[in-house]
Amino acid sequence: MVQETQQATIIYSEVERKIDFYYRMKKVTTHHELTVTPKVVITARAEFTLKQVLDVSYKPFSSESGILYLHTNQGVFPFFIHSNPQNFIETYRSFK
């Protein structure tokens, strides 16, 4: 049986392009937490119950970063991460 206090968190980045007052494009990078608990997966913009999450996969780049994909019944959500997601993925699979 999985305890309620177990969870895994990973930091992901979002890059937003904005046009300033002088019509110059600026890139604004923000960092958020992606958390998996025994009942839900929590992002900065949404929460998914574990019943809604079908799978989690990872595509690494040549550098230390990559994209973590959250496969849900509402679509696939990509998260740009800069660390190894192995603990996050194993924690998710232990809850399923």
Task: Give the torsion through C-alpha atoms of 89, 61, 84, 6, to 10 deg.
Answer: -30
What is the DSSP-derived secondary structure letter of residue 73? T
Return mean pLDDT, the chain: 91
Q: Is the pTM of this model over 0.85?
A: no
Residues 6+ apart with CB under 8 A from 22: none
Q: How far apart are CA 75 and CA 25, in angstroms?
A: 30
CATH class of the domain whose range is 8-95: mainly beta
Give the position of tokens 């998996």.
Answer: 36
pLDDT at 20: 87
What is the rounded average pLDDT of the residues 16-33? 92
35-66: per-residue pLDDT in tens?
A: 999 999 999 999 999 999 999 999 998 778 99
pLDDT at 3 over 80: no
* Residue ranges covered by each domain of the chain: 8-95
Most confident of 17-21, 71-75, 92-96: 71-75
